Structure 1
């Protein structure tokens, strides 16, 4: 009898869970369509998995380190009051300039639990063909990159985008490197404020740690 009741409870919880996350929609295929109530926008092809971990760029004294994690089923309500679930990537970073001065270091925040996960300095879930990138060297037609928001914590009025793609390591074909591009987006700059992020725009070839 107890076993029957237990199985019935499991069935009900499973049914409720499936109903709460329906339909399941691929992020890559349907990112640009209007969000649907209770839908689950899923990383169905596991594109995010290639990017999870710690990556580091070094050039003399300049260092740029990012840590990326993946969260499944992040619950979100948009400005139209549509509630849905989605897989997302979030992260933090450390940047040391060419003079060896540490300008940003929020790596310890990667395990924090903010009320809104988008409060992390790196956040997003947009997947696009790598051919969307300007001057994308050796991009394959079916290759995919991810496009994330990127914030300088002291100049968060400046909108930046972090675009990531994995490329084979030249010395070990079993390992991928990360090519990161930081680029600016349209921003409203307060009068008299700096107009650029303290982390330079451009390309960074990063090695997995």
Structure 2
């Protein structure tokens, strides 16, 4: 597949890029600084630019069989990075004619906000980040794309195990965890198979 990845320099994004290349895909990744993704590969094209540059973003999405968005706010960044990023990416996909989108959200967003006392507590602790995920989900749902929202619980830096569950009604619970490597593997599989098009899927160990 030809893949466009946004958020490639993040912890999950790097796993995505590495696993996509390992699987034989062509990858185009938007980065703010070329040094942020120290991976050299003949099937990887790194595009330096910002999400606020429509022509560059649509160029990244051009010809993509699937667009994968794993944006997330880092310390000190604006809390609306996911919402504003999704707005730019959706516009770019419409311009480029790209249809398939797999976007990273979080368990506890939107209608899962009241899933448990633990989730309600988490939403208070990281309120701005969760509101950002809510906003992103609303934009994606309102689009006419073939989208999938992926909602993991707490993410870890563990190894790729291949042992995880996925489902639209899955409830991870307080102990729910998922390694970023397994998250990347699931998102790549979903981009190719389209099992959850038009749905929000929870993925957890």
TM range, smaller chain: under 0.3
Question: Normalised by the size of structure 1, how large is the TM-score?
Answer: 0.27
**Larger proportion of helix:** 2
**Larger proportion of strand:** 1
